Amino acid sequence: MISIQEQNLRLQYFNKMLKKNDLRITPQKNKIFEEVSFTDLHPDAQDIFEKVQKKFPTISFSTVYKNLKTFVKIGVVTELDLGEGRSRFDANMTHHQHIIYENGKIDDIILQASDIPNLPKQFSNLDLSRVDIHFFVKDKK
Ligand SMILES: [Zn+2]
């Protein structure tokens, strides 16, 4: 669950970034963003489309998808490819890693810097920009 306070922070950031990128704020865009950001389920485009369609029955999948891609581009949402043949979307923009259960459930985890591996020595001249770690685990018993 995402707290109301966190939801408001995400919405504020969303509105700020839309303005910064000269993008119009529309009720449809807002609803799409809410469906990604007011949950910690890491929904895919189809999940989001189905939720948005309840409020905006004429909206197309491609409109929802294009908006999600725009949100990724302006940095309010990240796209996660977990090798499932579909992308998931995540509005938790604080740096975190993921635990992925066999049933598709995902938990966010924050690792200490000391828990994040460094590049092997032969690559130490490279400038690391980010590290994404996905732990694939069996379902909780
Ligand atoms: Zn996440």
Residue 95 is encoded by which pair of tokens?
């740096």
Burial of 17 (0-12, 13-18, 19+ CB in 10 A): middle
CA of 29 to the centre of ligand 1 (A): 21
Q: What is the number of domains present in the chain? A: 2
pLDDT exceeds 90 at position 89 = yes
Residue 25 is encoded by which pair of tokens?
């704020």
15 is in which domain, residue-wise?
A: 4-90
pLDDT exceeds 90 at position 88 = yes
- Output phi, psi for 109, to 5 deg: -135, 145
Among 53, 75, 90, the domain-final residue is 90
CA of 37 to the centre of ligand 1 (A): 10
Q: What is the pTM of this model?
A: 0.88
3-state class (DSSP) for residue 48: helix
Q: Per-residue pLDDT averaged across 83-104, rounded?
A: 92
CA 94/CA 34 separation, integer angstroms? 17
pLDDT at 141: 63
| 53-62, 64-73, 85-94, 108-117: least confidently modelled range | 108-117
CA of 2 to the centre of ligand 1 (A): 12
Residue 23 near residue 62, CB atoms below 8 Å: no
Q: What is the CATH number of the domain that holds 15?
A: 1.10.10.10
Pair 13, 52 in one domain: yes
Mean pLDDT of the chain: 93
CA of 107 to the centre of ligand 1 (A): 7
Pair 102, 50 in one domain: no
Q: Per-residue pLDDT averaged across 63-91, rounded?
A: 95
Query: Per-residue pLDDT tens for 25-55?
Result: 999 999 999 999 999 999 999 999 999 999 9
Pair 53, 82 in one domain: yes
